[in-house]
Amino acid sequence: MANVEIGKSGRILSMFAVALACLLLGYAIGWIFGVERNKAMTNRIVAVSWGDGEYGEAFYGAYVYLVPESGDYSVRARIYIGRGNDYWHECGEIGRAETDVEAVEKWGTITWTDDGLNIGDPASGGYHMLRTKLESHR
C-alpha cells in the first residue's frame, strides 16, 4: 500500500469541516430547544395589554403569566417599560389559581385608568398598581 500524506492545507480543511459541522449541529439543537421553550412560555400567558402613559402611547406593557408550582399555579405580572429593550418592573406573584382557566377568569382582564393599572377586579382580589408607581421609573 502506498502511504498518502495529507498536507497542511488538507488538515486545515478537515478541521474547518469538523468545526462547521459542530456549529451547524449546535445551531439546530438550540433552535429546537428554543422553539419548545417559546411554546411553553406562550402557553403560560394569561393576558397582555399595552397602555398609554406620560412618556407615550402604548408605552407600558402588562403581561400576566403562570408559573406551575406543586399542582397549582402562581399568577404573576410584569410591566414592560417601553419597547425594544429589556426594561421592566416585576410585580411578582399577584395571586394563586388551581387551574389555568381559573387564572384567566380572575386575572385575564387588564384595564388602564387615570389612576393606574388594574389586573382583574381589584375589589375582588385583583391587582392594582398606582399610576404614580407605574411611571416612577425615570
Domain regions of the chain by residue span: 7-43, 45-134
User: What predicted TM-score, i.e. pTM, was given to this entire model?
Assistant: 0.71
The C-alpha atoms of residue 62 and residue 118 are separated, in whole angstroms, by 10
Q: How many other CB atoms sit within 10 Å of the CB of residue 85? A: 8
What is the per-residue pLDDT across 20-78, written as a single tens digit (0 to 9) for each? 888 888 876 776 666 555 545 667 899 999 999 888 999 999 999 999 998 999 999 99
Q: Are strands 88-97 and 127-130 parallel, antiparallel or unpaired?
A: unpaired
Cell 498536507 belongs to 7
Q: Are strands 45-53 and 116-119 parallel, antiparallel or unpaired?
A: unpaired
What is the per-residue pLDDT across 105-116, written as a single tens digit (0 to 9) for each? 999 999 999 999
CA distances (Å), 8 to each of 3, 14, 70, 72, in order? Answer: 16, 10, 59, 62
